[in-house]
Structure 1
Amino acid sequence: MPKYYDELDDVIRALADPTRRAVVERLAKSPAVVSELAEPFAMALPSFMQHLRVLEDAGVISSEKHGRVRTVTLRPGALDVLHLWLGQQRTPAEHQAERLGIHLTRKET
Protein backbone atom coordinates (compact mmCIF):
# COMPACT_ATOMS: atom_id res chain seq x y z
CA MET A 1 0.00 0.00 0.00
CA PRO A 2 1.52 3.36 -1.02
CA LYS A 3 2.55 5.77 1.74
CA TYR A 4 0.14 8.47 0.61
CA TYR A 5 -3.00 6.37 1.27
CA ASP A 6 -3.53 7.84 4.76
CA GLU A 7 -3.41 11.34 3.30
CA LEU A 8 -5.74 10.25 0.48
CA ASP A 9 -8.23 8.82 2.98
CA ASP A 10 -8.25 12.09 4.92
CA VAL A 11 -8.86 14.16 1.79
CA ILE A 12 -11.63 11.86 0.54
CA ARG A 13 -13.32 11.90 3.95
CA ALA A 14 -13.10 15.70 4.07
CA LEU A 15 -14.59 16.07 0.59
CA ALA A 16 -17.38 13.56 1.22
CA ASP A 17 -19.62 16.29 2.63
CA PRO A 18 -21.38 18.68 0.20
CA THR A 19 -20.80 21.68 2.48
CA ARG A 20 -17.07 21.07 2.55
CA ARG A 21 -16.96 20.55 -1.23
CA ALA A 22 -18.76 23.87 -1.67
CA VAL A 23 -16.21 25.57 0.59
CA VAL A 24 -13.34 24.13 -1.47
CA GLU A 25 -15.02 25.28 -4.70
CA ARG A 26 -15.38 28.79 -3.26
CA LEU A 27 -11.79 28.90 -1.99
CA ALA A 28 -10.50 27.80 -5.39
CA LYS A 29 -11.44 31.30 -6.58
CA SER A 30 -9.71 33.22 -3.77
CA PRO A 31 -9.12 33.22 -0.01
CA ALA A 32 -12.07 34.33 2.12
CA VAL A 33 -12.90 35.29 5.67
CA VAL A 34 -14.94 32.80 7.69
CA SER A 35 -18.05 34.99 7.89
CA GLU A 36 -18.09 35.33 4.10
CA LEU A 37 -17.64 31.58 3.64
CA ALA A 38 -20.39 30.74 6.12
CA GLU A 39 -22.93 33.17 4.65
CA PRO A 40 -24.55 30.87 2.04
CA PHE A 41 -25.04 27.98 4.47
CA ALA A 42 -28.07 27.59 6.73
CA MET A 43 -26.21 26.55 9.85
CA ALA A 44 -24.85 28.03 13.04
CA LEU A 45 -21.31 29.36 12.92
CA PRO A 46 -19.98 26.70 15.36
CA SER A 47 -21.31 23.97 13.06
CA PHE A 48 -19.70 25.63 10.06
CA MET A 49 -16.41 25.91 11.95
CA GLN A 50 -16.46 22.14 12.46
CA HIS A 51 -16.53 21.74 8.67
CA LEU A 52 -13.53 24.05 8.36
CA ARG A 53 -11.73 22.08 11.05
CA VAL A 54 -12.22 18.82 9.11
CA LEU A 55 -10.82 20.44 5.96
CA GLU A 56 -7.89 21.91 7.88
CA ASP A 57 -7.11 18.62 9.65
CA ALA A 58 -7.07 16.90 6.24
CA GLY A 59 -4.60 19.51 4.98
CA VAL A 60 -6.98 20.85 2.34
CA ILE A 61 -7.20 24.40 3.73
CA SER A 62 -5.21 26.63 6.03
CA SER A 63 -6.36 29.60 8.07
CA GLU A 64 -4.75 32.65 9.56
CA LYS A 65 -6.10 34.98 12.18
CA HIS A 66 -5.46 38.72 11.93
CA GLY A 67 -7.02 40.46 14.91
CA ARG A 68 -10.59 39.23 15.06
CA VAL A 69 -10.75 38.12 11.42
CA ARG A 70 -9.87 34.59 10.30
CA THR A 71 -8.96 34.18 6.64
CA VAL A 72 -9.17 30.75 5.03
CA THR A 73 -7.09 29.66 2.03
CA LEU A 74 -7.05 26.55 -0.13
CA ARG A 75 -3.61 24.98 0.33
CA PRO A 76 -1.63 24.79 -2.91
CA GLY A 77 -1.28 21.18 -3.98
CA ALA A 78 -3.69 19.96 -1.31
CA LEU A 79 -5.70 17.92 -3.80
CA ASP A 80 -2.69 16.52 -5.67
CA VAL A 81 -2.91 13.24 -3.77
CA LEU A 82 -6.47 12.80 -5.03
CA HIS A 83 -5.45 13.64 -8.59
CA LEU A 84 -2.56 11.16 -8.39
CA TRP A 85 -4.79 8.35 -7.15
CA LEU A 86 -7.51 9.04 -9.74
CA GLY A 87 -4.91 9.03 -12.49
CA GLN A 88 -3.74 5.60 -11.39
CA GLN A 89 -7.30 4.26 -11.66
CA ARG A 90 -7.68 5.12 -15.33
CA THR A 91 -8.06 2.21 -17.70
CA PRO A 92 -5.61 1.50 -20.52
CA ALA A 93 -8.33 2.52 -23.00
CA GLU A 94 -8.56 5.95 -21.35
CA HIS A 95 -4.79 6.37 -21.63
CA GLN A 96 -4.90 5.41 -25.31
CA ALA A 97 -7.74 7.85 -26.01
CA GLU A 98 -5.79 10.63 -24.31
CA ARG A 99 -2.68 9.87 -26.38
CA LEU A 100 -4.80 9.81 -29.55
CA GLY A 101 -6.27 13.20 -28.65
CA ILE A 102 -2.80 14.66 -28.13
CA HIS A 103 -1.63 13.19 -31.45
CA LEU A 104 -4.63 14.60 -33.33
CA THR A 105 -4.16 18.03 -31.75
CA ARG A 106 -0.52 18.09 -32.87
CA LYS A 107 -1.52 17.14 -36.44
CA GLU A 108 -3.93 20.11 -36.60
CA THR A 109 -1.23 22.65 -35.81
Structure 2
Amino acid sequence: MNVAESARNYIITVEVPGVNANDIRVEVDDKNLRVLGNRSIQNWRMTAGSRDLISAYHKREILQGPYQVAWPLPLDVNRDNVCAEFTVFLKRRDGLLQIIIPKL
Protein backbone atom coordinates (compact mmCIF):
# COMPACT_ATOMS: atom_id res chain seq x y z
CA MET A 1 0.00 0.00 0.00
CA ASN A 2 1.26 3.47 -0.89
CA VAL A 3 -0.21 6.57 0.76
CA ALA A 4 0.46 9.95 -0.84
CA GLU A 5 -0.84 13.43 -0.16
CA SER A 6 -1.66 16.37 -2.41
CA ALA A 7 -2.98 19.79 -1.48
CA ARG A 8 -6.59 18.55 -1.62
CA ASN A 9 -6.51 14.75 -1.28
CA TYR A 10 -4.96 11.65 0.20
CA ILE A 11 -4.20 9.08 -2.51
CA ILE A 12 -3.97 5.43 -1.47
CA THR A 13 -2.76 2.83 -3.97
CA VAL A 14 -3.15 -0.87 -3.25
CA GLU A 15 -1.74 -3.74 -5.34
CA VAL A 16 -4.52 -6.18 -6.28
CA PRO A 17 -3.24 -8.21 -9.26
CA GLY A 18 -5.42 -11.14 -10.22
CA VAL A 19 -8.32 -9.95 -8.06
CA ASN A 20 -11.77 -9.42 -9.53
CA ALA A 21 -13.44 -6.08 -8.76
CA ASN A 22 -16.36 -7.98 -7.21
CA ASP A 23 -13.95 -9.55 -4.70
CA ILE A 24 -12.77 -6.23 -3.22
CA ARG A 25 -14.44 -4.08 -0.57
CA VAL A 26 -13.33 -0.64 0.63
CA GLU A 27 -14.52 0.38 4.10
CA VAL A 28 -14.12 3.69 5.89
CA ASP A 29 -15.04 4.18 9.55
CA ASP A 30 -14.24 6.90 12.08
CA LYS A 31 -10.62 5.83 12.42
CA ASN A 32 -9.48 3.63 9.50
CA LEU A 33 -9.61 2.91 5.82
CA ARG A 34 -9.68 -0.82 5.11
CA VAL A 35 -9.39 -2.71 1.84
CA LEU A 36 -10.64 -6.27 2.10
CA GLY A 37 -10.47 -8.80 -0.68
CA ASN A 38 -10.20 -12.38 -1.73
CA ARG A 39 -7.85 -13.74 -4.38
CA SER A 40 -9.57 -16.82 -5.78
CA ILE A 41 -7.63 -20.06 -5.59
CA GLN A 42 -9.44 -21.39 -8.65
CA ASN A 43 -7.64 -18.90 -10.91
CA TRP A 44 -4.36 -20.71 -10.26
CA ARG A 45 -5.32 -24.38 -10.68
CA MET A 46 -4.73 -24.66 -14.44
CA THR A 47 -1.86 -23.59 -16.63
CA ALA A 48 -2.56 -20.69 -18.99
CA GLY A 49 -4.21 -21.64 -22.25
CA SER A 50 -4.68 -25.32 -21.47
CA ARG A 51 -6.63 -27.74 -19.32
CA ASP A 52 -3.48 -29.09 -17.69
CA LEU A 53 -3.96 -29.14 -13.91
CA ILE A 54 -1.13 -27.98 -11.67
CA SER A 55 -0.08 -30.91 -9.51
CA ALA A 56 2.66 -29.31 -7.36
CA TYR A 57 4.37 -25.98 -6.67
CA HIS A 58 8.15 -25.60 -6.41
CA LYS A 59 7.91 -21.97 -5.26
CA ARG A 60 4.80 -20.09 -4.18
CA GLU A 61 4.88 -16.33 -3.51
CA ILE A 62 1.56 -15.21 -4.99
CA LEU A 63 -0.83 -15.04 -2.06
CA GLN A 64 -4.27 -16.62 -2.31
CA GLY A 65 -7.38 -16.35 -0.23
CA PRO A 66 -8.62 -13.48 1.93
CA TYR A 67 -6.52 -10.44 2.76
CA GLN A 68 -6.89 -7.04 4.40
CA VAL A 69 -4.84 -3.85 4.47
CA ALA A 70 -5.60 -0.83 6.64
CA TRP A 71 -4.50 2.77 7.09
CA PRO A 72 -5.32 4.97 10.10
CA LEU A 73 -7.11 8.06 8.82
CA PRO A 74 -5.88 11.56 9.63
CA LEU A 75 -8.35 13.94 11.25
CA ASP A 76 -8.71 16.16 8.15
CA VAL A 77 -10.41 13.66 5.79
CA ASN A 78 -13.87 13.84 4.24
CA ARG A 79 -15.09 10.29 4.91
CA ASP A 80 -18.32 10.87 2.96
CA ASN A 81 -16.64 11.40 -0.43
CA VAL A 82 -14.24 8.48 -0.82
CA CYS A 83 -13.71 7.32 -4.40
CA ALA A 84 -12.07 4.03 -5.43
CA GLU A 85 -11.27 2.70 -8.91
CA PHE A 86 -8.88 0.39 -10.69
CA THR A 87 -6.14 2.31 -12.47
CA VAL A 88 -5.91 1.81 -16.22
CA PHE A 89 -2.76 1.82 -18.35
CA LEU A 90 -3.03 1.44 -22.13
CA LYS A 91 -6.74 0.50 -21.84
CA ARG A 92 -6.01 -2.39 -19.45
CA ARG A 93 -6.45 -2.65 -15.72
CA ASP A 94 -2.98 -2.87 -14.25
CA GLY A 95 -3.69 -4.55 -10.91
CA LEU A 96 -3.74 -1.36 -8.85
CA LEU A 97 -6.67 0.02 -6.87
CA GLN A 98 -6.51 3.76 -6.30
CA ILE A 99 -8.53 5.34 -3.50
CA ILE A 100 -8.97 9.11 -3.27
CA ILE A 101 -9.98 10.63 0.07
CA PRO A 102 -10.58 14.39 -0.07
CA LYS A 103 -9.35 16.62 2.72
CA LEU A 104 -11.77 18.82 4.64
Q: Relative contact order, CA 8 A, sep 6+: which one is greater?
A: 2
For the aligned pair, the TM-score class normalised by the smaller chain equals: under 0.3
TM-score, normalisation: structure 2: 0.27
The structure whose Rg is larger is: 1
Structure number with the higher helix fraction is: 1
TM-score, normalisation: structure 1: 0.26
Structure number with the higher strand fraction is: 2
